[in-house]
Amino acid sequence: MGKLDGRVVLITGAARGQGEQEARLFAAEGANVVLADVLDEAGERLAEELGQERARYVRLDVSREDDWARGVEFAHEAFGGLDGLVNNAGILRFNALVHTPLEEYLAVVGVNQVGAFLGMRAAAPAIEAAGGGTIVNTSSASALTGMPFVTAYAATKAAVVGMTRVAALELAPKGIRVNAVCPGGVDTPMTNPEAATGALPVDASAAAEANSAFYAKHIPLGRIGRPGEVARLALFLSCDDSSYITGQPVLIDGGWLAGVQLF
């Protein structure tokens, strides 16, 4: 038996990267997975690969209320209900504080912060109606410590931690546990140097090499994180293995925040 047998879980940003790995793992553990994204071709392809009886794709812009309503309705139509949510969708923009345009800041807020809020608000009644379940929000190690050039990202991820704690308190009586994963650097398309904008125009290959050297030097485990590792943490927080854990930001950072490296 899988750890999520019989459960229906909606995962945002599921077409690629971390969300894709979560979708694959959850399906392998017996869940019926609603793949939510705006990357239609990749999302449909993944649903076809996993099998329509196990996974279905729905277009969902996490910053739009109407899309969330349709997404929850789609879960009911496709699989009969909703037992869990993984708020994975997110965007990252690199820019110095004083060079960050308001438009860019608000774009990050719309996906990372508003998206998580709308997702919890839309999914909680459906999860309660199913008899309880779980919500896993994706925060970041940058929510818990400083990092240059990510003002908008860090602000939104700190907000996700705050909302996670409040939601955990409010939803516990309804049988819903709410936790947040807080990854350090993870090797996904979102952290690809080619996606860097604003104050940090870089050569992608040179930046990738510098990125690898940084992790080797400064992270105790000596490497960047892998999407599958974060997926396993999301699974843990979504199954009965974590039945007495709620309201927690759980770090998965290779030891990044453990302390200062002296040598």
With contact defined as beta carbons under 8 Å apart, do 249 and 180 qualify? yes
In the predicted structure, residue 128 carries a pLDDT above the cut 50: yes
Residues in the chain: 263
What's the pLDDT band for 191 if we cut at 50, 70, 90?
Answer: low
Does the active-site annotation cover 153? yes
In the predicted structure, residue 208 carries a pLDDT above the cut 80: no
Whole-number pLDDT of residue 188: 82
With contact defined as beta carbons under 8 Å apart, do 227 and 21 qualify? yes
Region 222-245: mean pLDDT is 96
Region 130-156: mean pLDDT is 96
Beta pairing class for 55-59 and 32-37: parallel
CA dihedral defined by 60, 57, 178, 18, rounded to 10 degrees?
-90
* 7: helix, strand or coil: coil
The CA distance from 48 to 169, in Å, is 38
The 10 Å Cβ neighbour count of residue 110 is 17
The tally of CA atoms less than 13 A away on the side-chain side of residue 165 is: 8
Region 135-163: mean pLDDT is 96
In the predicted structure, residue 115 carries a pLDDT above the cut 80: yes
Whole-number pLDDT of residue 196: 39
Whole-number pLDDT of residue 211: 66
In the predicted structure, residue 1 carries a pLDDT above the cut 90: no
* 49: helix, strand or coil: helix
- pLDDT tens-place string over residues 77-105: 999 999 999 999 999 999 999 999 999 99
Q: Which H or E run contains 43?
A: helix 40-50
Place of tokens 């979102």: 190
Domains annotated for the chain, with CATH where assigned, are 8-191+228-251 (3.40.50.720)
Whole-number pLDDT of residue 217: 78
What mean pLDDT, rounded, does the chain reach? Answer: 92
CA dihedral defined by 251, 256, 258, 259, rounded to 10 degrees?
-150
* Angle (nearest 5°) at CA 248 between 23 and 86: 20
Whole-number pLDDT of residue 194: 46
- pLDDT tens-place string over residues 165-177: 999 999 999 999 9
In the predicted structure, residue 158 carries a pLDDT above the cut 80: yes
What's the pLDDT band for 216 if we cut at 50, 70, 90?
Answer: confident
In the predicted structure, residue 199 carries a pLDDT above the cut 80: no
Region 54-79: mean pLDDT is 98
In the predicted structure, residue 201 carries a pLDDT above the cut 70: no
Region 231-243: mean pLDDT is 98
Whole-number pLDDT of residue 85: 98
Please enumerate in sequence order all residues whose Cβ is within 8 A of that of 191, keeping only pairs 6 or more positions apart, or say none.
92, 185, 211, 224
Q: Catalytic: which of 57, 105, 153, 215?
A: 153
Q: Which of 170, 72, 180, 90 is nearest to 126 (CA)?
A: 72
With contact defined as beta carbons under 8 Å apart, do 7 and 30 qualify? yes
